[in-house]
Amino acid sequence: MRRFPGHPRAAARGALIGAAFALVVSAACSSLLTEAPADGEVFDAPLDGLTSVELAAFVRGDEEFARRFSPATGLGPVFNNVSCASCHGGDGRGRLEHSLQRFGTEADGFLAHLGGPQVQDRAVPGAEPERAPAGVAISLRLPAPVFGAGLIEAIPESVLLALADQDDRNSDGISGRVNWVSHAPYVPASEPNGSAGPRIGRFGRKAQTVTILQQTVEAYHQDMGITSEFRPSENRNPLAAVATEAADHASDPEVPTATVLAVVHYLRALAPPAPGEMTAQRRDGDALFRSAGCAACHTPTLRTGAHPLRALADRDVPLYSDLLLHDMGDALADQRPDGSATGREWRTTPLWGLRLMRQFLNGQAFLMHDGRARSVDEAIRLHGGEGQRARDAYVALSPAQRAALLDFVESR
């Protein structure tokens, strides 16, 4: 994870860097000198326009995002990983081995008696990890990128409603709709989109979460087994053969509200990476992307509205997503409803950050909700349902045209 001036770890390394610099200069070995990548070349840079106070809070949240928990500091008793950064490496696209298994639905109470909604496959000593319950639909979920989350949260509901076409009134075969979901009871009205009543979901593979706060609280609780004042009760394996109370060595809540809010601010202020240079081939690819119908769901640009964090307000967001639910056909269906999303529907995945994806995944690519696609070409060919027409248009292109379209998409 890249660090910023004033960051504690950066300060600790300062003396070493200075000494190394002196040795390099004295040896006239300038080839050893390196420089930090530009903000647009990483997944963990802050938004432009943050005040000094906001940037300091960003650095603190960055530290908490990277913090590794142990049983002594509250990890578990059942969990999936030891820190936020462990699943969201570099705050970019997740690895397949860090995928989560989701089961149960809102309608069945997420099968809480079986341990729903998520399988915690690891446990601290003295506790028993969960196993996928027999006879229930399991949905593998790749960790989503966390950069740009604040910009997504700042897009007004009116913008998303204007894009929705549930009854396919324009007869283009695409009927995107919003996922109306209810907040967790701990989400205050003061949060962005936090007022009472069902609100439009925008986070998660099925747009099942409205706010960054809820996404963060649930990640602490479900992914790491860390309690907070928002969710103060431990998450335990209800099917364990023995009680696990003795395995819990930390008093609840295990992180204070200030820590949760620091991470929320960090996620809210993370900038998306910059797109690549728009070459002649990429301009051709952009035109083909639109003519094939890809942009009907992967909307190139949305715009934020008013927001308490000025750096998020009234900005264009090069998201390449409408954040709506679309039926993607039988092959991609997971049979797991979430909110009003059916087992065949998925939120349009944003395309930003694809340019840097392989740099952070050892040259690999994991695409679609479960990481099954290893290239953009394969991901497009897996589109069915409302994406079938665009998929067929892509396949019908000449090899040179497909190469231009892929070059454009992979430059975002």
pTM: 0.89
What lies within 8 Å, CB to CB, of 141 at 6+ separation is 99, 100, 101, 102, 205, 369, 370
pLDDT at 5: 40
Predicted confidence at residue 187, as pLDDT, reads 97
Omega prior to 337 cis, within 30 of 0: no
Question: Any idea of the CA torsion for 325, 331, 333, 335, to the nearest 10 degrees?
Answer: 160
Query: For residues 319, 322, 324 and 326, what is the CA-based torsion angle, rounded to 10 degrees?
Result: -100
Gyration radius of the chain over CA positions: 22
* pLDDT for position 237: 95
Residue type present at position 15: A
Calculate the CA 250 to chain-centre distance.
Answer: 29
93/77 Cα distance (integer angstroms): 27
Q: How far apart (Å, rounded) are the C-alpha atoms in residues 278 and 273?
A: 15
Taking a C-beta distance cutoff of 8 angstroms, is the pair 378, 319 a contact? Answer: no
Taking Cα atoms as reference points, which of 365, 403, 206 lies closest to residue 289? 403
Alpha carbon distance 159, 317 (integer Å):
12
Domain coordinates in residue numbering, the chain: 1-36, 280-409
**Considering the domain 280-409 in this protein, what is its CATH number?**
1.10.760
- Cis bond before residue 117 (omega within 30° of 0): yes
Indicate the residue type of 183: H
pLDDT of residue 38: 79
Q: What is the pLDDT of residue 94?
A: 66
> Who's near 134: CB < 8 A, 6+ residues apart?
none
Per-residue pLDDT of the chain (412 residues; tens, 9 = 90+): 444 444 434 433 343 334 333 433 344 444 444 577 777 888 899 999 999 999 999 999 999 999 999 999 999 999 999 999 999 876 666 667 788 999 999 889 999 999 999 999 999 999 999 999 999 989 999 999 999 999 999 999 999 999 999 999 988 999 999 999 999 999 999 999 998 889 999 999 999 999 999 999 999 999 999 999 999 999 999 999 876 666 788 999 999 999 999 999 999 999 999 999 999 999 999 999 999 999 999 999 999 999 999 999 999 999 999 999 999 999 999 999 998 999 999 999 999 999 998 887 777 889 999 999 999 999 999 999 999 999 999 999 999 999 999 999 999 9
pLDDT at 223: 97
Residue 183, φ and ψ in degrees, nearest 5:
-65, 155
Asked if residues 229 and 256 have their Cβ atoms less than 8 Å apart, the reply is yes
pLDDT given at position 92 = 65
Alpha helix segments (H runs only) across 130-256 = 149-153, 157-163, 212-218
